[in-house]
Amino acid sequence: MTFQDLNLNTALYNGLDDLGFTAPTPIQAEAYGVIAGGKDMVGIAQTGTGKTFAYMLPILKNLPYSKQENPRILVLVPTRELVVQVVDEIEKLAKYINLRVLGVYGGTNINTQKQAIAQGQDIIVATPGRLYDLALSRVLQLKSIKKLVIDEVDVMLDLGFRHQLINIFDILPERRQNIMFSATMTNDVDELISDFFVNPEKVSIATSGTPLENINQTRYDVPNYYTKFNLLKELLQDKETFNKVLIFVAYKKMADRLFESLDDFFHEELCVIHSNKTQNYRLRSIEQFREGFNRILVATDVMARGLDIDNISHVINFDTPDYPENYMHRIGRTGRAEREGEAILFSTENEQESLEAIESLMQMKIKRLDIPETVEISTELIEEERPQIKERNNPHKRKTLEERGEAFHEKSAKNSKENLGGSYKFKIAAKYKKPKTRGDKNYNKRNKK
């Protein structure tokens, strides 16, 4: 099947030719007819399968030119980085179409975004929080929205955006087409669909636990952080093989720790992104990695979710993710557009249970490799790996009822304190009376008698 079979217009064909695309991906081919027909749709497809063009091709084909100021298409994504990426992809695809598209997200000046909206837009790409703020300000009018697209909806729900999404649904026109894309189908996603979608058609390209066939997966059993670091450093020395490497870690503190450890060896080749970094820093890091100025990018799950970066040679899971679905999203960063990719997983003894959950989801075993002899096996532990020492005889620690011993007894009723609330001052006054002093208005009268 080619794009010619989709009966697109000349402007879209010219845009696709400039991008070098000749044939649609499976999700693009399957979703096109459903979206073009105006039905609600739920698309289940792995990351890296071309979901952005899957909804934009039919939308752009049927979007007539208009001078109206209020936007007609709304695209919601979970992170600021994805807003920038989706806007960029729409602009490339719509290069030969007279179209106004704007991305809005938090962390930047809202007044600048209000001014851009007031100039008139056709498509708004936004994170839920900033979109709702703009809608409440009345600058952004959503009454003309014809199509709502929610991309990476499972991530949105993981990030706690459910209430914002429901609030946005409440202020959108009832007569609209709903389009949703997700890499996994969870109970939360299913509940959202049943509440707000009207007889949606489901388009599923692969089950959520099916890894892309062109990704080769291997793993190492590693005892601790410092051995993980030594192994990672050894692998990264091979610059020809590991020419564009995305390293996933579990949380922000680990990202900073690993970045500082690697900085001594790969200073000019290294960058990092996580949610504590400023917006400009994160966008600059992504762009430098995308353009090849930096060979290695250290990232947390949320920051790298859905990012479309070409030619990533390796995804290295420095930490084994707690949720097996996150592993699927991570390794989906490599092996994109049917290219070969490599995914490597490091697991400590404490992470074996998470490893088993990943293999159970995929219904396959990940090939285990032996740690090279040149890698030093460290015995040093970081703070999180050290066993928790229970304090004994801590005078500041409250004892449980069982630890109090036989000598313990409750306070007598006489010594027990009572929360008297607002009536406290009246009970005190009744008990002790007010002293009769020269300030008593009846004092002089009584003394004259």
Q: What is the pLDDT of residue 152?
A: 83
Q: Given a cut of 60, is residue 154 above it in pLDDT? A: yes
Please say whether the beta carbons of 305 and 152 come within 8 A: yes
What integer best gives the mean pLDDT of the chain? 85
Q: What is the pLDDT of residue 209?
A: 61
For residues 419 and 442, give the distance between their C-alpha atoms in angstroms, rounded to a whole number.
Answer: 34
Which one is predicted more confidently, 142 or 340?
Answer: 142
Segment 347-367 mean pLDDT: 93
Structure confidence at residue 211 as a pLDDT band (50, 70, 90): low
Give Dmax over CA atoms of the chain in angstroms. Answer: 116
Q: What is the pLDDT of residue 401?
A: 52
For residues 226 and 229, give the distance between their C-alpha atoms in angstroms, rounded to a whole number.
Answer: 5
From residue 166, alpha-carbon distances to 131, 153, 162, 170, 422 in Å are 13, 13, 6, 6, 41
Q: Given a cut of 60, is residue 172 above it in pLDDT? A: yes
Structure confidence at residue 351 as a pLDDT band (50, 70, 90): very high
Q: Given a cut of 60, is residue 419 above it in pLDDT? A: no
Q: What is the pLDDT of residue 420?
A: 55
Which of 384, 311, 324 has the alpha carbon at shortest distance from 359? 324
Q: What is the pLDDT of residue 278?
A: 79
- Over pLDDT 90: what percentage of the chain? 54
Q: What is the pLDDT of residue 350?
A: 93
- Backbone torsions φ then ψ of 73, nearest 5 degrees: -125, 135
- Tell me how far apart the terminal alpha carbons of the chain are, to the nearest angstrom: 116
For residues 38 and 40, give the distance between their C-alpha atoms in angstroms, rounded to a whole number.
Answer: 7
- Over pLDDT 70: what percentage of the chain? 82
Q: Given a cut of 60, is residue 163 above it in pLDDT? A: yes
Segment 379-398 mean pLDDT: 74
Domains and CATH numbers, the chain: 3-204 (3.40.50.300), 215-385 (3.40.50.300)
> Which residues, 6+ apart, have CB-to-CB distance to 153 below 8 Å?
180, 181, 182, 189, 192
Q: What is the pLDDT of residues 85-128, one digit of tens each?
A: 999 999 999 999 999 999 999 988 999 999 999 999 999 999 99
Segment 232-258 mean pLDDT: 94
From residue 187, alpha-carbon distances to 76, 158, 360 in Å are 20, 12, 19
Structure confidence at residue 30 as a pLDDT band (50, 70, 90): very high
Segment 218-225 mean pLDDT: 96
Structure confidence at residue 396 as a pLDDT band (50, 70, 90): low
Note the helical H segments in 70-161.
80-93, 110-118, 128-136, 153-158
Q: What is the pLDDT of residue 222?
A: 96
Beta strand segments in 195-348, E: 201-204, 215-221, 245-249, 270-273, 296-300, 314-317, 341-347
